[in-house]
Amino acid sequence: MAKVATYNPVTYLLDALRSLVSTGWDLETLLIGLAAVLGVGVVSMSLALWAFRSRLQNR
């Protein structure tokens, strides 16, 4: 399970949120959480646009 948690971007988001509640503005943890969210967003939007384009071309 530790390997799965290492590669799960939600782990980094939760660490960032947890640091806000417990220690305050820990810039490094917040930036890692932001990078994880942006990474997931870029990958998911890229895949969605690719699927949409291929769907339009097959019409």
Q: Give the number of domains in the chain.
A: 1
Q: 20: which 2 tokens?
A: 């806000």
Each residue's pLDDT tens digit, 13-59: 999 999 999 998 999 999 999 999 999 999 999 999 999 999 999 77
Quote the domain boundaries for residue 39.
2-57
Query: Which pLDDT belongs to residue 5?
Result: 84
pLDDT, the chain, mean:
93
Q: What's the predicted TM-score (pTM) here?
A: 0.80
Contact 10, 24 (CB under 8 A): no
Q: 34: which 2 tokens?
A: 């932001």
Quick one: 16 exposed, middle or buried, by C-beta within 10 A (0-12, 13-18, 19+)?
Answer: buried
Query: Which pLDDT belongs to residue 22?
Result: 94
